[in-house]
Structure 1
Amino acid sequence: MLEVSRLRKTFETDGQRALGRGRRTVNDVAQVFAVNDVSFTVEEGEMFTLLGPSGCGKTTTLRSIAGLETPDSGSIALDGRALFSRQAGKKKGAVNVAVNKRGLGMVFQSYAIWPHMSVFDNVAFPLRVAPRGRRVGEAEVKRRVTKVLETMELAAYADRHATKLSGGQQQRLALARAIVIEPPLLLLDEPLSNLDAKLRESLRYELKRLQRELGITSIYVTHDQTEALALSSKVAVMQAGQVAQLGTPREIYQRPLTKFVAEFIGTANFLDGTVRARSGQDFAVETANGVLTLTADADVTVGSAALASIRPESVQISVERPTDARNVWSGVVTTRAFLGEAMDHIVSVGQHEINVRSGPEISIEPGTPVYIRFDPSKLSLVPMS
């Protein structure tokens, strides 16, 4: 189990670059928080994903766990063993285990394979250069490398130079080299980002299958929302150096806690309004087009401005009024788009333009009056921000 607690990391920068981020000034030098009080736990066997836009702190967090960055304060522990620990402003009593002594596996975005070595020698390299106390004999090297190459379906290429492999094969080679040391934790820094879309999709499921079969605890960094939802046991969505929301992929997608999370993960309709009534988790939100009733686990008080959000596929559309009259609005289709596996309609309702996604069998011509219905259980409520 990995425990990351109150991790902080700052970089010196000029004032303009620090705008819009948590910042402080030390001796007239602006410092921006790359990671600001980040805490999370990764259970054994989980695929834990750090997800967010460029500059949100996800790679800095990963590199801090690997030992490639030195945080200002916080702690990192793996299976009860401290890898890093430092109190803010104090160096006395600090712990910072060297990169090569942490025993972690890492796959970089660029793969970083040795171009002058064969596939076999690339995978064998970390075993052969391990510290003497952990180094294994050549017979064991051959056994481990052969086994992992078979798992990665690269055994037939063992004698081939690494640069003669395709992009997907090179990605699997980098992964094989990382897991051959049988690490307690595998770190993956956007390993699929250099591949074309079709290959990335196929390797995404291959990576998930391998992670489950091998049972390796993994931390995966990506900015690709689809990748995060498909691969992860847990997702931490990061924003400006902090964890905006942590949960399962389904929780993150269906119950975003902030507008940022709802916008970053997929597509969402936002309906601004005011909370007029609340009973436990049941809310009544007054909008410009009428009152919406919904059920949400939200910390929003009566009288507060709030945003009701709903995914396009959770909005029902029909030319006839639904029998369930709750949350039914009437509008007009302004445009439609065929997406192959789905059909998108944009429906104009008063001040709102609602995106509705349905199966491709539903196709309604622009200009047609329609009814749309918001399922109370599919609506989320977030504070206005």
Structure 2
Amino acid sequence: MLEITNLVKTFAGDRQPRRENGDRAASRVRAVDDISIDVRDGELFTLLGPSGCGKTTTLRSVAGLERPDSGEISVAGRVLFSGGSSRTFHLPPNQRGLGMVFQSYAIWPHMKVFDNVAFPLQVMSRGSRPGKKAIAEKVMSVLETMELAHLAGRQATKLSGGQQQRLALARALVTEPPLLLLDEPLSNLDAKLRESLRFELKRMQRELGITSVYVTHDQIEALALSSRIAVMRDGKIMQTGTPRDIYERPDNRFVAEFIGTSNFLSGTVAGHENGLLAVDTEHGQLLVRAEVRPGTGEAVVLAARPEAVALTDQAPTHDTPNQLTGSVVTRSFVGDAVDHIVRVGGQEVRARCEPSVSLAPSTTVTLRIDPANLTLIPVGD
């Protein structure tokens, strides 16, 4: 559906020191650094990353609101942008036929709900513009989908935040675009409403089957909504995969740290044992099930999610691998779980347990990590 190939977008950076001739050239900052993305038909694809990573610039490039330096963007085989060292083709935003929902919603305050949704149809070119009856039918149909039909005659400014968000979605969908672009549409809502609309948005996207590209910095939002996620950093894509792959099998330390919380244990490869990789750490030898096979003596980092760390006040057993002994530093009840911070040697390890497990500070405990729940990360990633 959406294909982005070798996309580059730069902006002017800080001025450099004066040259001998007195000139000071401005450096260029690569906001999007040679990325390639393939979004499949009907999926919700999320660009996830911290502020300044290039995710919104990528989205705006697809929408036509930014002109990239080079690369190619196409939707359903139709080229929207193609550029490089020679000729550049840039289709204007109003000719791309894409739907877009902005962070601020950008609804028209002087119009009623019906008129906000009808406007994109009314300004179509004469040859493709529907008749008044067809426009009314299309508008009421999409308003019913958004559960806003009963508010069609209300002034847009009289809607709640959640209703305004659904109105912006309705306006983007009424033209039946081949691709829907969403730029952090839930970020202005309070936490409870954001969670509610997250599921509503996922339901709507699945029912309509519309291909969507979603931009957010919220990890939970990305995991809950997405078919696939591309994690970005400094204009580059660090990893692309399903939410489960991204969370359970991060390719590098940045992804492991950015998506949720991870414990990191440094060590060196000691060898292979029964299909597992043995890693020597300062806390003892740990076994990990890994697809890659680093050489013996190579430095690696092991990552474990807090919920993958089992906690008990019983002594270590002789027949169980991957056991660490430590002392509880503190614990925190978070509703559906209890987080324990355990000091193991000179390092703190977080273990997330079910609410019935709550061990007091200073308790000597044993941590157990299944080899399948450890992720091997090469040093430097």
TM-score by length of 2: 0.95
1:282 offset after TM fit, Å? 3.1
Corresponding residue to 1:277 among 238, 255, 271: 271
1:46 offset after TM fit, Å? 0.2
Q: Which residue in 2 is equivalent to 1:2?
A: 2
1:301 offset after TM fit, Å? 3.5
Task: For 2:129 and 2:283, locate their aligned partners in 1 and report how far apart those are by CA, in whole Å.
Answer: 70
Contact kept in structure 2, 1:190 and 1:220, CA below 8 Å: yes
Query: Matched residues, percent identical?
Result: 60
Corresponding residue to 1:211 among 180, 205, 208: 205
Q: Which residue in 2 is equivalent to 1:32?
A: 29
Q: Which residue in 1 is equivalent to 2:77?
A: 80
Q: Which residue in 2 is equivalent to 1:363?
A: 358
Q: Do structure 1's residue 107 and structure 2's residue 104 form an aligned pair?
A: no
1:297 offset after TM fit, Å? 3.0
Match runs of 1:85-96 below 5 Å: 85-87=82-84, 89-90=85-86, 92=87, 94-96=88-90
Task: For 1:14 and 1:202, locate their aligned partners in 2 and report how far apart those are by CA, in whole Å.
Answer: 43
Contact kept in structure 1, 2:15 and 2:24, CA below 8 Å: no
1:186-222 C-alpha deviation (Å, 9 max, x unpaired): 0000000000000000000000000000000000000
Deviates more, 1:300-309 or 1:191-200: 300-309
Match runs of 1:116-131 below 5 Å: 116-131=110-125
Q: Which residue in 2 is equivalent to 1:22?
A: none
Q: Which residue in 1 is equivalent to 2:245?
A: 251
Task: For 1:280 and 1:86, locate their aligned partners in 2 and report how far apart those are by CA, in whole Å.
Answer: 52
Q: Do structure 1's residue 376 and structure 2's residue 371 form an aligned pair?
A: yes
Task: For 2:313 and 2:305, locate their aligned partners in 1 and report how far apart those are by CA, in whole Å.
Answer: 20
Q: Which residue in 2 is equivalent to 1:157?
A: 151
Deviates more, 1:253-262 or 1:345-354: 345-354
Task: For 1:347 and 1:7, locate their aligned partners in 2 and report how far apart those are by CA, in whole Å.
Answer: 45
Contact kept in structure 1, 2:277 and 2:293, CA below 8 Å: no
Task: For 1:133 and 1:289, locate their aligned partners in 2 and report how far apart those are by CA, in whole Å.
Answer: 73
Match runs of 1:31-70 below 5 Å: 31-70=28-67
Find the residue that maps to 1:356 and give its secondary structure: strand
Corresponding residue to 1:349 among 344, 351, 361: 344
Find the residue that maps to 1:134 and give its secondary structure: coil
Contact kept in structure 1, 2:316 and 2:325, CA below 8 Å: no
Q: Do structure 1's residue 311 and structure 2's residue 266 form an aligned pair?
A: no
Task: For 1:259 and 1:293, locate their aligned partners in 2 and report how far apart those are by CA, in whole Å.
Answer: 19
Relative to structure 1, the CA distance from residue 357 to residue 233 in structure 2 (aligned partners, 3 Å threshold; closer, same or farther) is same
1:367 offset after TM fit, Å? 1.1
Find the residue that maps to 1:4 and give its secondary structure: strand
Find the residue that maps to 2:165 and give its secondary structure: helix
Match runs of 1:133-148 below 5 Å: 133-148=127-142
The one-letter code sitting in structure 2 at the alignment partner of 1:291 is Q
Contact kept in structure 2, 1:115 and 1:163, CA below 8 Å: yes
Q: Which residue in 2 is equivalent to 1:23?
A: none
The one-letter code sitting in structure 1 at the alignment partner of 2:227 is S
The one-letter code sitting in structure 2 at the alignment partner of 1:364 is L
Contact kept in structure 1, 2:15 and 2:25, CA below 8 Å: no
Mind listing any 5+ residue stretches in structure 2 that lack a counterpart? Answer: 17-22
Task: For 2:239 and 2:308, locate their aligned partners in 1 and report how far apart those are by CA, in whole Å.
Answer: 21
Task: For 1:281 and 1:302, locate their aligned partners in 2 and report how far apart those are by CA, in whole Å.
Answer: 15
Contact kept in structure 1, 2:263 and 2:349, CA below 8 Å: yes
1:255-293 C-alpha deviation (Å, 9 max, x unpaired): 011111000000000101112224797321111111111
Q: Which residue in 1 is equivalent to 2:216?
A: 222
The one-letter code sitting in structure 1 at the alignment partner of 2:188 is N
Q: Once superposed, what is the RMSD of the aligned Cα atoms?
A: 1.6
Contact kept in structure 2, 1:298 and 1:382, CA below 8 Å: no
Find the residue that maps to 1:37 and give its secondary structure: strand
Contact kept in structure 2, 1:288 and 1:351, CA below 8 Å: no
Deviates more, 1:340-349 or 1:280-289: 280-289
Match runs of 1:261-272 below 5 Å: 261-272=255-266
Corresponding residue to 2:324 among 326, 329, 338: 329
Find the residue that maps to 2:66 and give its secondary structure: coil
The one-letter code sitting in structure 1 at the alignment partner of 2:323 is V
Task: For 1:239 and 1:337, locate their aligned partners in 2 and report how far apart those are by CA, in whole Å.
Answer: 31
Task: For 2:369 and 2:280, locate their aligned partners in 1 and report how far apart those are by CA, in whole Å.
Answer: 14
Contact kept in structure 2, 1:281 and 1:298, CA below 8 Å: no
Q: Which residue in 1 is equivalent to 2:20?
A: none
Task: For 2:349 and 2:203, locate their aligned partners in 1 and report how far apart those are by CA, in whole Å.
Answer: 37
Contact kept in structure 1, 2:50 and 2:217, CA below 8 Å: yes
Task: For 1:131 and 1:106, locate their aligned partners in 2 and report how far apart those are by CA, in whole Å.
Answer: 19
Task: For 2:93 and 2:295, locate their aligned partners in 1 and report how far apart those are by CA, in whole Å.
Answer: 48
Task: For 1:15 and 1:326, locate their aligned partners in 2 and report how far apart those are by CA, in whole Å.
Answer: 56
The one-letter code sitting in structure 2 at the alignment partner of 1:320 is Q
Relative to structure 1, the CA distance from residue 301 to residue 57 in structure 2 (aligned partners, 3 Å threshold; closer, same or farther) is farther
The one-letter code sitting in structure 1 at the alignment partner of 2:4 is V
